[in-house]
Amino acid sequence: MKVIKFGGSSMADAKQFKKVAHIILSDPDRRIVVVSAPGKRHSDDTKVTDLLIRLAETAKNGGDTETVLETVVERYAVIAADLKLGKEIVNTVRADLEARIANRSEQYEKFLDCMKAAGEDNSAKLMACYLKKLGHEAAYVNPKEAGLFLSEEFGNARVLDKSYPLLYKLRERTGILVFPGFFGYSEEGDVVTFSRGGSDVTGGILAAATEADVYENFTDVDFVYAASPKIIEKPFPIPLFTYEEMRELAYAGFSVLHEEALAPVYKLGIPVNIRNTNNPDAPGTFIVSDKKAPKSTFPVVGIAADTGFLNIYLHKHMMNREIGFGRRLLSILEDELISYEHMPSGIDSISVIIRGSNCDDEKLARVMDRIKNELGVDTLHAERDLAIVMLVGRGMTKSVGIAARATEAFNRAGINIKMINQGSSEVSIMFGVESADANAAVQALYGEFFD
């Protein structure tokens, strides 16, 4: 049994819906289908999710919701008309959006999640309707009725363990099940969404819960490439990654798969297959457990970079003798609910790397004050425009001189390395560089390891 997920570009218009239906119907094992909201039809277009966010903001500010609401309805109406589905499904979409606005919560983040979720919810209803029209047994599945329970972290939820045995029961149902991605329900019964791009996470959860043989994730590329095609022209296609490799790359900005999508399938070793809706004959890229992965012939399989990191640097003479220093430093961050990403340290110095988006200027000022007052440091400063560049490959474990080759490549390109951190797993080496150097750093490393 396969769980199969289609992203926003695969759901953008009727032409894409037809391709999706064809892919589903060409393999009877494709039983559970997860869909995103309609994405962009061309580069200047707006994703339905972004339109829904605009709709929520308009409602909050007491603006003219009617116009924005009709723009959203129109996206579905055009698809329905092209697929000859009749008016009823369009009226269902309109009524659904109106009800979400009319019954809105006073708490904006709750209301916003409820609006965002409408994108995938209606997409799933439309797809189920289309499959039925084509003469197949298909049903829309509501995540609440199926038992997808999430933590009450609006816009950034996590799955609750109790969902897994409930969702397992989907196996008992017949026909094709169309499940909306991106959201579930809190224990109180409110709609809660994952972070953006979260339909990938829904797919991972359903694959794990139903113990699927494979999780197929259809997007708009034939392969996952060794580096972003936006930075490297015609990058090398990679047919297979391990979970760890993909996790490291997704973390550092590989936008192919949501960073949290692998967590549910990882424990069970369910392979993930990234494929192209526009070219379904291409085998795509597999992501598998370390045990199932063949030995890598290359030391490096991927290079990624992400900007927007914040570095808090501190120095204190004889820090290494001070018991509890690290704990006290981290508890300051904990009090401000800031998670840290990396913490490279020397004898008398530590850098704490944080995602800039997790720490606004106000929070940062409070954190800096407390570090100064409570830890008695000699030097303390923070800089915001740090990029993290990740060199990833399971083959690095057995290869000598990878870091030397990387630093030499940076040297040739005139890029200043602010920090190096080798993960203890030896699957990756992380470099901190200035944000302005991020793309040049990827190019330098790509030139060294792939050209």
194 token code pair: 């994952």
* CB of 198 or CB of 432, closer to ligand ASP: 198
* CB of 80 or CB of 124, closer to ligand ASP: 124
Find, among 394, 389, 449, the residue nearest to 426 by Cα: 394
Closest separation in Å from C-beta 81 to ligand ASP = 22
Closest separation in Å from C-beta 171 to ligand ASP = 24
Total residues belonging to the chain: 451
Backbone angles phi, psi at 396, to 5 degrees: -65, -30
407 token code pair: 């630093």
Beta-ladder partners of 355: 309
Hunting for tokens 């080496």 — which residue is that? 429
Quote the distance between the C-alpha of residue 192 and its chain's center. Answer: 16
Closest separation in Å from C-beta 127 to ligand ASP = 14
Hunting for tokens 């570095």 — which residue is that? 311
* CB of 183 or CB of 446, closer to ligand ASP: 183
How far apart, in whole angstroms, are the C-alpha atoms of residue 335 and residue 348? Answer: 24
How far apart, in whole angstroms, are the C-alpha atoms of residue 239 and residue 245? Answer: 13
Q: Is the dihedral of CA 47, 95, 3, 306 positive or negative?
A: positive
The residue of the chain with the least Cβ separation from ligand ASP equals 199
Closest separation in Å from C-beta 195 to ligand ASP = 8
Closest separation in Å from C-beta 119 to ligand ASP = 5
* CB of 113 or CB of 448, closer to ligand ASP: 113
* CB of 2 or CB of 5, closer to ligand ASP: 5
Ordered DSSP codes for 87-120: SHHHHHHHHHHHHHHHT--SSHHHHHHHHHHHHH
Hunting for tokens 């990679």 — which residue is that? 238
Helices (H), 61-214: 65-82, 88-102, 108-133, 143-146, 163-168, 199-209
Beta-ladder partners of 240: 286
Closest separation in Å from C-beta 117 to ligand ASP = 9
Closest separation in Å from C-beta 212 to ligand ASP = 19
**H/E element, 49:** helix 48-60
* CB of 117 or CB of 170, closer to ligand ASP: 117
Residues that bind ligand ASP (CB under 6 A): 7-8, 36-37, 47, 49, 119, 181-182, 196-200
How far apart, in whole angstroms, are the C-alpha atoms of residue 158 and residue 183? Answer: 10
Contact 107, 21 (CB under 8 A): no
Quote the distance between the C-alpha of residue 105 and its chain's center. Answer: 27
48 token code pair: 């339905």
* CB of 122 or CB of 285, closer to ligand ASP: 122
* CB of 24 or CB of 433, closer to ligand ASP: 24
* CB of 52 or CB of 354, closer to ligand ASP: 52
Closest separation in Å from C-beta 326 to ligand ASP = 36
* CB of 12 or CB of 300, closer to ligand ASP: 12
Quote the distance between the C-alpha of residue 284 and its chain's center. Answer: 19
339 token code pair: 């998670």
Closest separation in Å from C-beta 373 to ligand ASP = 41
Q: Is the dihedral of CA 388, 246, 410, 442 positive or negative?
A: negative
Closest separation in Å from C-beta 96 to ligand ASP = 16
